[in-house]
Amino acid sequence: MVTAIRKETSETVRGTGNTGSLKDIYEVLIKEIQTALLQSVPIDTYQNIATLLGNLKSQPYEGIELKVRNRMIEIISISAKLLLDTRHHKILQEWEQSEQNLPALSTTISGIDYSKLTDEEKYILNEEKEADKRKLAILAATLNGRPKVLESISARMHSKQIVVRFIKPMDQFIGTNMTKYGPFQEEDVAVLPFENARSLVENGKALEVDFAF
């Protein structure tokens, strides 16, 4: 059963320009799920979905229209997560299966056709490739009896610092580098040793500030 909603709601769902629609997302998702190979999707797929959700969330609806809007947001959010998870799984499979092969085309890297990936998916894959390189480096140093290499990695981790934003007040504390930090108030920003920052984030007292973008 399809619930009718007022004209401006339909226009919001369609969005401005090529922001996509619930139908568009559904069709892309179904095609991706029903095929074993990674499918080509519009380069701005996730940006379109983000714009669509942003438009929906910004509209002040009431009553039945609010319930319809919220249900649509829920469906689109679930579909977006399923689409990303499905494509990510395929990308990893293709990467693992052909990691040792030379690229057959100029558009491929490690057997993956990058022309089928969105920029967001390339970003994820590149980070995973870097993680894989680090794992191999640690394994090689361990198996080849090179403790100095591992000591160097350990030293880098101890000196690593992260920028965090506090979401709860925090008393003064001594960091892993024996330096005093704080006290901090809500919304304060600080550069902290990796282990201290990790602990604060895991305990819900701070959020990491990501400058990757």
pLDDT tens per residue, range 31-60 = 999 999 999 999 999 999 999 999 999 988
> What are the CA-CA distances from residue 199 to residues 3, 55, 156, 182, 208 (Å)?
47, 36, 18, 15, 11
pLDDT of residue 19: 43
Q: Do residues 111 and 29 share a domain?
A: yes
Structure tokens at 49: 């979905």
- Please indicate, yes or no, whether residues 112 and 39 belong to a single structural domain of this protein: yes
Mean pLDDT of the chain: 83
Reading the block at residue 101, the tokens are 């092969």
- Residue ending a domain, choose from 62, 93, 117: 117
Q: Give me the pLDDT at residue 181, please.
A: 95
For residue 101, how many C-alpha atoms fall within 13 Å in the half-sphere facing its CB?
14
Both 17 and 111 in one domain: the answer is yes
Which pLDDT band holds residue 72 (cuts at 50, 70, 90)?
very high
pTM here? Answer: 0.66
Of 117, 144, 172, the last residue of a domain is 117
**Enclosing domain of residue 88:** 7-117
The pLDDT of residue 17: 37
Residue 148 lies in a domain: no
Does residue 34 belong to any structural domain of this protein?
A: yes
CATH of the domain at 171: 3.40.5.50
Which pLDDT band, with edges at 50, 70 and 90, does 119 fall under? very high
Decide if pLDDT at 143 tops 70: yes
Is 112 found in the same domain as 19? Answer: yes
Complete DSSP assignment for 6-39: -HHHHHHHH-SSS---HHHHHHHHHHHHH-SSPP
Does 133 fall in a domain?
Answer: no
